[in-house]
Amino acid sequence: MIFRRALQRELASVAGATFTVLFSILVTWTLISVLGRAAGGKVASSDVLALIGLAVLNYQPTILILTSFISVLVVVTRSYRDSEMVVWFASGQSLTRWIRPVLTFGLPIVAVVAALSLVVMPWAQLKKGEFTERFEKREDLQRVAPGQFRESASANRVFFVEGNGRGATAGVQNVFVNSVENGVNTVVVAKEGVIEPDGHGGQYLLLKNGRRYSGTPGRADFQSMEFERYRMRVATQVPVMGDVSVEGMTTPALLAVPQVPITRAELMSRIGPPIMCLVLLLLAIPLGFVNPRAGASANLILAILIFFTYLNLTRAVENAVKSGKLGFGGGWWPLHLLVLLTGLGLFAWRLNVNHRWHPMVLLNAFKRRRLLQSGSAKEAAQ
């Protein structure tokens, strides 16, 4: 009981430190990515904080899986390095006695990963899609960031504004619009512009105090005029949100739709993380073995390589199911079973270190045989 409580405290402490580091790296990377998209005019600046939060939620299962895996591995490795495992084995205890406290620590994390993967991530994907689609369907002028050229949704008009006006109803300042209609190039510049609805679902850009140039300079059809007010249509209908993507569907709705490859692949991506978390928790126990006289960094590097290999293979299987090359029934379980069997094999290896077929026993026997053969050869040569 004392050992179990001490182990729980140590696992929780290591998990907290590991999660803090990984979460900080994730938030920093997400912040840079989203701010870059906002600076490039791909997302609205007012949606930056919401998009950062949604992106962090999407990566939480992966962060929690890696946190639990590293935490168990680090604690087991420290026990070997500090020779606590020697006392553990000398007292007649087995390595399998670690399974219960590790699962006591890890099963709540598995439950959180399952909730995030099955419920929270679809909701986050849905909200992210809504933010992106709403920005794509905004009026052309509202999508323009000051100091940047921006093409309209119809791809026949380019906007540029020098700055935004002040106030809730203010528009933009120093507007430049270049449009091509029926092969005629038109350039309009104005001191300011505002968006006005026409009462029928359409919207106009009202420009004030500017000039309009139409045609090709030097030709007879070239026109130039000054205006105090000039109206230009920028939207013909009220934006309507599109259909919900597969990633944004709730899990019950995903189970209710026809069994097509894309929905089965999405279902695999949701049930995979909790299974992966549970399997890696068990794998970390025998994988944490280290020689007390050697360094412990090799185990951590190997664990990270195993994690990312496992994760990438899972994504590869999901893509195979999505493309129809592999069925759902034969795709969701073999990889997890293979990793679980690998963990059981490592358990058997650590438990039966004196068995005659153990790899270390076979290696030592091979070395002794080579030494005997070398000694016999030297005696024969003398």
Q: Which has the closest alpha carbon to 171: 196, 192, 150, 145? A: 192
pTM of the model: 0.71
Q: What is the pLDDT of residue 255?
A: 86
Maximum alpha-carbon separation in the chain: 113
Q: What is the pLDDT of residue 360?
A: 55
Q: What is the pLDDT of residue 129?
A: 81
Residue 335 structure tokens: 């990889």
Q: What is the pLDDT of residue 155?
A: 59
- What confidence tens digit (pLDDT) does each residue in 139-182 have? 455 555 566 677 665 557 787 777 665 544 456 788 888 888 77
Residue with tokens 């993967």: 117
Do 62 and 272 meet the contact criterion of CB atoms below 8 Å apart?
no
Q: How far apart are CA 270 and CA 267, in angstroms?
A: 5
Name residues of the chain where pLDDT drops below 50. 139, 167-169, 236-243, 354-355, 357
Q: How many CB atoms lie within 10 A of CB 32?
A: 10
Q: What is the pLDDT of residue 169?
A: 45
Question: Which residue pairs, CB below 8 angstroms and at least 24 apart, start in 20-23?
Answer: 22/63, 22/66, 22/67, 23/56, 23/63
Q: How far apart are CA 319 and CA 70, in angstroms?
A: 27
Q: Which has the closest alpha carbon to 146: 159, 161, 168? A: 161
- What confidence tens digit (pLDDT) does each residue in 83-108 have? 788 777 777 777 888 888 899 999 99
Q: Which has the closest alpha carbon to 290: 85, 105, 103? A: 85
Q: How far apart are CA 87 and CA 258, in angstroms?
A: 57
